Amino acid sequence: MNKNFTVVEQKTISVSSGQTLYGGFWIRAVAFIIDSIILSIPLTLISIPLLGYGMFPVISYMEEYNQTQTISPEMAAALFLFMGIIALFQLISLVVFWLYFALFESSSKQATWGKQICGLRVTDGHGQRISFARASGRTFAKILSYAIMYIGFMMAGWTKEKRALHDFIAGTRVIKNS
């Protein structure tokens, strides 16, 4: 019985453990959705009494306005109060958004809760933890990413190191945990 054997060359492919894996657009989007849900809880709890306090006086003047089609000084004052409350809520939201992202991304975890759930963290160009100042700059640089129709965020889908516009501005990377 003659058996023919073919010699097969075995190749081993090794991947360096030092290779950095970056967090791309979709995983970062999921992390941001998680963070948005988390942030919506305290902001909703703050907004309900604030907006209710400002809205009830306006509602009480609506019947008068419907009948007379004029705005009384009292109704104008109520509208002014309501607009001031909306502006205050926007300021509170901005501060909460800033502190959440800046404090968590500069912490020892280097990630918000959403990023932690998705296995991501924010680093500088050398993989090190970023300062609160740099995390703050990164957070405020997101305004530019929003302002240009979210293209700044989409950049994380097509740049080599999966960096968004605010990452370029702040000199940061979002990497996957090993």
* 127 conformational bin, left if phi > 0, alpha if psi -120 to 50, beta if neither: left
CA pair distance 61, 11, nearest whole angstrom: 81
Amino acid occupying residue 44 = T
- The H or E element spanning position 14 is none
Domains in the chain: boundaries: 25-176
Residues forming beta bridges with residue 123, ordered by sequence position = 173
Residue 171 has pLDDT above 60, yes or no: yes
pTM > 0.75: yes or no: yes
Q: Torsions phi, psi of 120, nearest 5?
A: -120, 160
The 10s digit of each residue's pLDDT in 94-130 is 999 999 999 999 999 999 999 999 999 999 999 999 9
What's the CA angle centered on 155, arms 149 and 157, to 5 degrees? 120
Residue 18 has pLDDT above 70, yes or no: no
Averaged pLDDT, 52-73:
84
The 10s digit of each residue's pLDDT in 126-155 is 999 999 999 999 999 999 999 999 999 999
Task: Pick the range with the lowest mean pLDDT from 13-17, 28-32, 147-151, 170-174.
Answer: 13-17
Amino acid occupying residue 68 = T
The 10s digit of each residue's pLDDT in 33-43 is 999 999 999 99
